[in-house]
Amino acid sequence: MLKITDSVKTMQEGLALEFFKIANSRVRRNAGLALARAKVATLSFLTKTPTYQSLVSGELAYHFGFNKGTEESVLQPILNTFVDSIHYEFIPFSKIGGSFTFYGVNADYSDVFSLPEAKIAGKNKPELTTRYPLPWLNWLLLQGDAILVQDYKIVIGTVNRSKTGKAVMIHGGTWSIPSEFRGTASNNWITKMSPKGEKAVSEYDKTMQKIMEGLLV
C-alpha cells in the first residue's frame, strides 16, 4: 500500500513492483495460447516458402526423387518436428530485468535429421560414389554449393522410367542443390523466415512480435 506521505522514490518503486506483479500474472496466463499461436504461424510460414512449394510439386521434388504423390507425406513429419520443437522461456519481470523468448528447432537440426523421412532409401550402384540412404534434408539445409554427386547430373523433363516422372540422372557432369534453394547453417529454408542482421524485419518476425505483445493483454 502506498501512502500520500511516501517519497517519490518509494512510490515509484511501489508502482514498479505492482506493474511487475500484473505483467507476470498476465504472461503466465497467456503463455500457453501464445505458444499455440506461434506454432500455427510457423507452420503457415514454412509451407508458404518457395522451398516448400518446390519440395511438394516442383524442381526439388524431382531432384530428390520423391515418389510421385508421396511428397507431402515425406514432408509432414519434418514440419511437425519443426513446429513441435517451438517452446518458450519466461524469466519473470523484476527490477533487475526479465524476458519472454521463443525457441525453435535445435541449432544442429539433429531432431529433424534423425527422422527416417530426412533420408532417401535406395539401392547403391557401383558406378555411384554417393551412397544410400541419401541425407537430402542435410544437403538442403547445410551443404550450400557443395558437389554432392560426382560424374552424374539430373535432367528435368518427362521421363517414363523415372519414379518422379519428371527427372532422370544421367552420366556426365556433377550434381548440387539447385542454386536458388541452397542452404547453409546461417541461411537456409528455416533461417530465412527470421534472418539475422537484416535491416528489414521479416513478416514472420512481425507476426511473432504481435503474438508476444498479446501476452500482456
Residue among 133, 110, 114 nearest 123 (CA): 133
Task: Please check whether residue 71 lies inside any domain of the structure.
Answer: yes
| One-letter identity of residue 191 | T
> What per-residue confidence (pLDDT) applies to 171?
84
Task: Please check whether residue 2 lies inside any domain of the structure.
Answer: no
> What per-residue confidence (pLDDT) applies to 155?
85
Range of the domain at 64: 9-185+201-216
> What per-residue confidence (pLDDT) applies to 83?
95
Task: Please check whether residue 190 lies inside any domain of the structure.
Answer: no
Rounded Cα–Cα distance for residues 48 and 110 (Å): 24
> What per-residue confidence (pLDDT) applies to 137?
97
Task: Please check whether residue 169 lies inside any domain of the structure.
Answer: yes
> What per-residue confidence (pLDDT) applies to 184?
95
CA dihedral 120, 160, 174, 50 (to 10 degrees): -60
Rounded Cα–Cα distance for residues 79 and 85 (Å): 10
> What per-residue confidence (pLDDT) applies to 169?
81
Task: Please check whether residue 66 lies inside any domain of the structure.
Answer: yes
Task: Please check whether residue 133 lies inside any domain of the structure.
Answer: yes
Task: Please check whether residue 4 lies inside any domain of the structure.
Answer: no
> What per-residue confidence (pLDDT) applies to 2?
45
Q: Is 98 helix (H, G, I), strand (E, B) or coil?
A: strand
List, in order, residues 6 or more apart from 29 with CB less than 8 Å away: none
Rounded Cα–Cα distance for residues 24 and 29 (Å): 9
> Which regions in the chain score pLDDT beneath 50?
1-2
> What per-residue confidence (pLDDT) applies to 1?
47
> H or E element: which one contains 153?
strand 149-156
Task: Please check whether residue 53 lies inside any domain of the structure.
Answer: yes
Helix ranges (H only) for 85-159 are 110-113, 136-142
> What per-residue confidence (pLDDT) applies to 32?
97
Q: Is 182 helix (H, G, I), strand (E, B) or coil?
A: coil
Domain count, the chain: 1
